[in-house]
């Protein structure tokens, strides 16, 4: 649950609320204690890569230790920063769920699909020599401008044929 209502605010207002919360050391999200207790999960997936994207991992750990019986729930934190690391999370999650072969199959299937996209872009003539490639800027929001990061540049460069311009903004 977030105290920021994105459907009722402009991008600039959301940006200011996020920056203010982070500056003041406040989490953007709160876990619903009752829902967590009722769910009695075996595994919780979270991340500590970006405090704007999800509940802080420390808060998840604290809530799990306070609300669930000891050793009942595994908290699995995922922090992929590249596309390769994203596909490694498929395997980590499947391993934690006791079905490692499904994670390996999903990773293999993902890369096969990615290869088909790459071949299609090459056939289309979109992919040119490195020097002739257009630069592409990927923004997560525009007011104020905020670059897309983590695995976004990998995806753009691999499949669009464009170079990413991550330092323009």
Top pLDDT among 135 and 15 is at: 15
pLDDT score of 129: 61
pLDDT in tens, 21-75: 888 877 788 888 899 889 999 999 988 877 777 787 888 888 888 888 888 899 9
User: What pLDDT was estimated at residue 160?
Assistant: 66
Measured distance CA(45)–CA(60) in Å, rounded: 10
Angle between helices 100-124 and 152-160 (to 10 degrees): 50
Q: Count Cβ atoms below 10 Å from residue 45 Cβ, excluding itself.
A: 16
Mean pLDDT of 91-120: 94
What is the predicted pLDDT for the residue at 126?
Answer: 62
Residue 97, pLDDT score: 96
Cα(43)–Cα(93) distance, integer angstroms: 9
Higher pLDDT, 163 or 12: 12
User: Rounded to whole angstroms, what are the CA distances from 10 to 22, 52, 100, 142, 145?
Assistant: 18, 16, 43, 11, 13
pTM of the full predicted structure? Answer: 0.76
What is the C-alpha separation between 36 and 69, in angstroms, rounded? 12
Structure tokens at 168: 């323009």
**Exposed/middle/buried for 26, CB within 10 Å: 0-12, 13-18, 19+?**
exposed
């Amino acid at each position: 649950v977030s105290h920021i209502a994105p459907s009722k605010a402009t991008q600039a207002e959301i940006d200011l609320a996020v920056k203010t919360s982070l500056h003041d050391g406040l989490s953007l999200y709160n876990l619903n204690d009752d829902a967590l207790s009722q769910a009695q999960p075996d595994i919780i997936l979270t991340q500590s890569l970006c405090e704007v994207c999800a509940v802080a991992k420390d808060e998840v750990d604290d809530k799990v230790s306070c609300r669930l019986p000891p050793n009942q729930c595994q908290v699995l934190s995922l922090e992929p920063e590249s596309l390769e690391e994203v596909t490694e999370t498929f395997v980590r999650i499947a391993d934690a769920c006791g079905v490692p072969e499904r994670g390996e199959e999903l990773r293999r299937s993902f890369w096969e699909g990615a290869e088909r996209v790459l071949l299609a872009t090459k056939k289309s003539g979109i992919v040119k020599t490195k020097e002739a490639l257009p630069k592409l800027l990927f923004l997560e929001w525009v007011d104020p401008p905020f670059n897309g990061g983590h695995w976004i540049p990998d995806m753009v460069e691999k499949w669009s044929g464009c170079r990413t311009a991550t330092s323009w903004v």
